[in-house]
């Protein structure tokens, strides 16, 4: 038998403008290449403490139970739901996209009596319909997605959190795509359990899930009568590793935590407000360019995410062919639609380090070439020109 030894890992250089992962800041990659130490080494424990402090700043919270779950954003979702839900508990999940649907599945696997509150993909929920559902079903937990990655819709949650508190309901919020790209005010809004991911606006590779739990949520976890369904994601044990006890639970991904530590340093060096302004500025320029090319957004004005732009594919344009051409000719990755939006929308991410005028302008020029090759009629240069006008006005 011949021993097969493959070549070294040598991925192509891409401009990541899909729904995630986003482009990784070079400083983050450099941090991840630092020497590995033990998961109970004093140096690593210092990194954990500093990461917790920075996560609290980015989440805008004083919550004691704030940490990075070892796993992707979906692990963060499961950690939140599995710790708050016991078999037989009632939970309302707001479903207006793929990730609300995923939260429903997770809640059901944890034994919840789940009520789905549904809106069409791309729409958002009103406070009134959520209040009516809470009064009708009296759940323990309400789950909702703040930034629905599958649709590009931005769901306000502050008023919904107030309604939850008024009715003694815990609110669990998916901020996987929003954290670090638009305001997430955990304490000010009164959010009880929030999860995110490292690979979106934090511009870190996928692999950790920042989570934070309010004192109300911690009290609910402490009052459980049954063990958490997942041993690995049991916050009672994980918090003892991240807390002063340093009780061994699992071997943390050391170098991934180095990366998150550096990513958070970059966020705080820029400043959250400046970061939000940058994302919004690039979103408005991209939108101006796309509309000058005849493309419309799939989500209503005022409800669009700045970091994840879902646009309607023009009639007669081949979805897959355009995305393939963007990748092969220009090294640009964008995402296709999911669920009922499959084949109908493109999802264009301008997240974290990838949210830049350079990426916006290069993408618009490349997309114009692809659409012209598809036979779409437009004024050459209209997209880039409109974006430049938007930048000058901002």
Alpha helices in 319-381 (DSSP H): 319-330, 357-373
pLDDT greater than 80 at residue 296? yes
**How far is Cα 161 from Cα 7, in angstroms, rounded to an integer?**
52
Q: Are residues 39 and 154 in the same domain?
A: yes
Assess if residue 180 is contained within a domain: yes
In a shared domain, residues 31 and 42? yes
Say how many residues make up the chain: 394
Domain annotation covers residue 349: yes
Q: Tell me: the pLDDT tens digits for 308-319?
A: 999 999 999 999
User: Model confidence at 257, in pLDDT bands (50, 70, 90)?
Assistant: very high
Region 20-39: what's the mean pLDDT?
A: 97
pLDDT confidence tier of residue 1, bands split at 50, 70 and 90: low
Q: Quick one: 311 and 263 in the same domain?
A: no
Residue 183 and residue 156 share a domain: yes
Residue 53: count of CB within 10 angstroms of its CB: 12
Domain match, 114 and 52 both: yes
Domain that holds residue 381: 272-393
283 and 215, same structural domain?
Answer: no
pLDDT (0 to 100) of residue 3: 86
Q: 154 and 250 share a domain?
A: yes
Give the pLDDT score at 243.
86
Together in a domain, 242 and 369: no
Does residue 368 form part of some domain?
A: yes
Share of the chain above pLDDT 70, in %: 100
Closest CA to 104 of 86, 119, 85, 91: 91
Specify whether 242 is located in the same domain as 116.
yes
3-state secondary structure of 51: helix
- Whether this model's pTM surpasses 0.75: yes
What's the pLDDT at 317? 97
Q: Are residues 169 and 69 in the same domain?
A: yes
pLDDT digits (tens, 9 = 90+) for 160-200: 999 999 999 999 999 999 999 999 999 999 999 999 999 99
| CATH label of the domain that carries residue 125 | 3.40.640.10
Worst-scoring range by mean pLDDT, 76-90, 125-139, 232-246, 356-370? 232-246
Local structure of 78: helix, strand or coil: helix
Q: Do residue 247 and residue 282 come from a single domain? A: no
> What are the percentages of helix, strand and coil residues in the chain, rounded to 5?
45, 15, 40
Mean pLDDT, residues 266-277? 98
384: CATH: 3.90.1150.10
- The stretch 224-237 carries a mean pLDDT of 96
Asked if residue 14 belongs to a domain, the reply is no
Instruction: Sheet with 193-195: list strands edge to edge.
Output: 65-70, 208-213, 193-195, 170-174, 141-145, 90-95, 113-118
Look at residue 297 and tell me whether its pLDDT is greater than 90.
yes
Residues 128 and 194 in one domain: yes
Domain count, the chain: 2
User: pLDDT tens digits, residue range 369-389?
Assistant: 999 999 999 999 999 999 999
Please give the mean pLDDT across all residues of the chain: 97
So what's the pLDDT on residue 271?
98
Q: Quick one: pLDDT at residue 311?
A: 98
Q: Is the pLDDT of residue 54 over 90?
A: yes
CA–CA gap between residue 261 and residue 37 (Å, rounded): 15
Q: Is residue 12 part of a domain?
A: no
Question: Which helix (H) or strand (E) covers residue 49, if one does?
Answer: helix 42-59
Beta strands in the chain, from DSSP E residues, in sequence order: 15-16, 65-70, 90-95, 113-118, 141-145, 147-148, 153-154, 170-174, 193-195, 208-213, 308-312, 332-333, 335-336, 345-349
Q: What is the pLDDT of residue 25?
A: 95
On whether the CB atoms of residues 239 and 225 are closer than 8 A, the answer is: no
The tokens for 297 are 């957004």
- Tens digits of residue pLDDT in 338-363: 999 999 999 999 999 999 999 999 99
């Amino acid at each position: 038998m011949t021993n097969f030894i493959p070549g070294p890992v040598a991925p192509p250089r891409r401009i990541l403008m899909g729904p995630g992962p986003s482009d990784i800041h070079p400083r983050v990659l450099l941090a991840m290449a630092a020497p590995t130490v033990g998961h109970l080494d004093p140096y690593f424990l210092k990194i954990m403490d500093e990461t917790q402090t920075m996560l609290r700043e980015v989440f805008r919270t004083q919550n004691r139970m704030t940490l990075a779950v070892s796993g992707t954003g979906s692990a963060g979702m499961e950690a939140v739901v599995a710790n708050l839900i016991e078999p037989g508990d009632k939970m309302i999940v707001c479903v207006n996209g793929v990730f609300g649907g995923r939260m429903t599945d997770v809640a059901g696997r944890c034994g919840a009596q789940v009520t789905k509150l549904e809106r069409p993909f791309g729409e958002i929920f009103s406070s009134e319909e959520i209040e009516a559902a809470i009064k009708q079903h009296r759940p323990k937990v309400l789950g909702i997605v703040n930034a629905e990655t599958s649709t590009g819709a931005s769901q306000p949650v502050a008023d919904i959190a107030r309604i939850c508190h008024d009715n003694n309901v815990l609110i669990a919020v998916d901020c996987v795509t929003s954290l670090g790209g638009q305001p997430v005010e955990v304490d000010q809004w009164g959010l009880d359990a929030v999860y995110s991911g490292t690979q979106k606006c934090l511009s870190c590779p996928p692999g950790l899930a920042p989570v934070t739990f309010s004192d109300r949520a911690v009290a609910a976890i402490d009052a459980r009568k049954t063990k958490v369904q997942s041993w690995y994601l049991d916050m009672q044990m994980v918090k003892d590793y991240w807390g002063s006890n340093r009780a061994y639970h699992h071997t943390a991904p050391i170098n991934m935590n180095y990366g998150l530590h550096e990513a958070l340093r970059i966020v705080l060096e820029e400043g959250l407000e400046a970061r939000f302004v940058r994302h919004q500025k690039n979103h408005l320029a991209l939108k101006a360019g796309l509309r000058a090319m005849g493309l419309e957004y799939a989500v209503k004005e005022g409800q669009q995410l700045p970091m994840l732009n879902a646009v309607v594919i023009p009639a007669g344009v081949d979805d897959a062919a355009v995305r393939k051409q963007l990748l092969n000719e220009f090294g640009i990755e964008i995402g296709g639609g999911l669920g009922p939006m499959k084949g109908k929308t493109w999802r264009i991410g301008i997240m974290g380090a990838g949210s830049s005028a350079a990426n916006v302008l290069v993408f618009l020029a490349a997309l114009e070439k692809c659409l012209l090759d598809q036979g779409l009629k437009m004024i050459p240069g209209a997209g880039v020109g409109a974006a430049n006008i938007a930048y000058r006005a901002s």
